[in-house]
Amino acid sequence: MTMTLAQLLAPMPVERFFAEYHDRLPLHLKGDPAKFAAVFSWRQINRLLDMTHAWSSHSLQLVLDGKPIAAEEYCTRATGRDSNAQLMQPVTARVREWVQKGASIVMNDVDSLTPGLASVSHAIESAGLGKAQANVYISWQSHKAFPAHYDTHDVWAVQVEGEKTWNIWEGRADWPISHPLWRSQDQAHHEQHKGKLRAKILMKPGDLLYLPRGWYHDALAEAPASVHVAYGAHAPNGMDVMNILLERVLYETVFRQPLPRQDGSAAAKFALTQRAGQLGARVAELAKDPKVMAVLEQYVADYRFQRGGNDLLAWRGMAAPAAAEGEEAAEGGAFRVIPGGAKPVRRGAEWVLKTATGTVPLNPAEAEAAQWLLARPDITEAELKRAHPAADAAALLARLREAGLLAAT
């Protein structure tokens, strides 16, 4: 599946976002609960966590009321599957104990693990906003994972489950980067510089929150459970220009020559000053060189992570290429239940499903099946068939989708 920046920002026009908000101001956009239904779900969370060998104390972290849980408290030392290197691997039973105490789960670097997660990264990167890396934050009511802080990248937060209140402060760090100069700042510094409360935002499923790099914020779950995916957009900056120029000056003799020896004399200091000026002038000339600019333009244009595109059988000529994204045949697989208070109601000998927009006629078997599935966070056609074999699962799911009560994931 794919997503564009226009779909991510809808109903706000992309032009307005760039004119008024990008790198300027925070933005909260309310959305329909179905908007991000295909991005992530509880079912997918559990499936990914079940891939136990894929996780480590770095990729899966626990935080309780603002304090990180030490790896030794929820992991065991294990040998990596592809080497003899030792790593800390999460233990399901220990993770469960911490979750029962209210610990939040952070799943790092997940932007390529499912098509839904990758779709938002694609929307951000295709718009030239930088490399989009994603972390999932799973938290529980009244337990805050992190105190007020800022990030060294733009944040695009997508709410997929439950509700979370975000505090947006007035303070903004001056374009910080991931460097010890900024990473070493302690919480006292953040509390001093976060400023006054600018806004308190309640994020619900389908909502989007954009925060420019360096903007102070913190969040607290308001529903029994909350899941949001935070995409960090790392845009290229002036430091990248310096790195490209560093590669270029390797071919310049004057940059490979030794600097004037310093003996404390005025003549030696003058010689060093002259050489530094000469080097600076040459760097300025190289920054305007068409070949250097061509490399820089391509670097910025290609500044994104590479994901997907694999089609092994087609590569070997053993099968036709897979359908283009968005053209796949519907699998009738998993569906997210969209909360809205719908429920089966009996009217004499007939049953109907009462929704916010009208009613859906049901037979008795469908009424029982509908009541069961609407009490779940998600459902598959296979599960519905097993639980309620008397109901026509495919037909019922299709009608509930038409009524806006289900969204394919």
Per residue in 74-109, pLDDT (tens digit) is 999 987 666 677 889 999 999 999 999 999 999 999
Residue 69 scores a pLDDT above 80: yes
Average pLDDT of the residues in 379-384: 88
Query: Rounded to an integer, what distance in angstroms lies between the CA atom of residue 361 and that of residue 407?
Result: 20
Residues near 91 by beta carbon (within 8 Å), at least 6 away in sequence: 74, 75, 76
Average pLDDT of the residues in 354-381: 90
3-class DSSP assignment, residue 231: strand
Which of 239, 238, 186, 193 is CA-nearest to residue 214? Answer: 193
Query: Rounded to an integer, what distance in angstroms lies between the CA atom of residue 310 and that of residue 322?
Result: 9
Say if CB 28 and CB 207 are below 8 A apart.
yes
Query: Rounded to an integer, what distance in angstroms lies between the CA atom of residue 360 and that of residue 400?
Result: 8
Residues near 205 by beta carbon (within 8 Å), at least 6 away in sequence: 33, 35, 36, 37, 159, 160, 161, 162, 163, 339
Residue showing tokens 């992190």: 146
pLDDT for the residue 318: 82
Which strands sit side by side in the sheet containing 378-380, from one edge to the other?
378-380, 334-337, 406-408
Residue 325 scores a pLDDT above 50: no
What is the DSSP-derived secondary structure letter of residue 31?
A: -
Query: Rounded to an integer, what distance in angstroms lies between the CA atom of residue 209 and that of residue 223?
Result: 18
Residue showing tokens 């480590």: 56
Query: Rounded to an integer, what distance in angstroms lies between the CA atom of residue 70 and that of residue 235?
Result: 32
Cα of 4 vs its chain's centroid, Å: 15
pLDDT for the residue 82: 62
Cα of 372 vs its chain's centroid, Å: 32
Task: With cut-offs at 50, 70 and 90, classify the pLDDT of residue 15.
Answer: very high
Per the DSSP assignment, residues forming a β-bridge with 408 are 335
Distances (CA, A) of 409 to 117, 338, 379, 400: 11, 12, 10, 14
pLDDT for the residue 121: 96
pLDDT for the residue 393: 92
Residue 329 scores a pLDDT above 70: no
Average pLDDT of the residues in 357-373: 91
Query: Rounded to an integer, what distance in angstroms lies between the CA atom of residue 402 and that of residue 406?
Result: 8
Whole-number percent of the chain with pLDDT over 90: 72
Residue 332 scores a pLDDT above 80: no
Does an H or E element contain 170, and which? strand 164-172
Per the DSSP assignment, residues forming a β-bridge with 361 are 352
Task: With cut-offs at 50, 70 and 90, classify the pLDDT of residue 33.
Answer: confident
Residue showing tokens 């080097």: 279
pLDDT for the residue 326: 39
Task: With cut-offs at 50, 70 and 90, classify the pLDDT of residue 330.
Answer: very low
Task: With cut-offs at 50, 70 and 90, classify the pLDDT of residue 341.
Answer: confident
What does pLDDT average to over the chain?
A: 91
Question: How would you classify residue 241: left for phi > 0, otherwise alpha for psi between -120 and 50, otherwise beta?
Answer: alpha
Cα of 318 vs its chain's centroid, Å: 36
pLDDT per position as a tens digit, 178-204:
999 998 999 999 999 999 999 999 999
Query: Rounded to an integer, what distance in angstroms lies between the CA atom of residue 98 and that of residue 21?
Result: 39
pLDDT for the residue 83: 65
Per the DSSP assignment, residues forming a β-bridge with 140 are 225
pLDDT for the residue 53: 84
Taking the CA of residue 209 as centre, how many other CA atoms within 13 Å lie in the half-sphere pointing to its CB? 26
Query: Rounded to an integer, what distance in angstroms lies between the CA atom of residue 228 and that of residue 211?
Result: 14
Which of 31, 19, 306 is CA-nearest to residue 156? Answer: 31
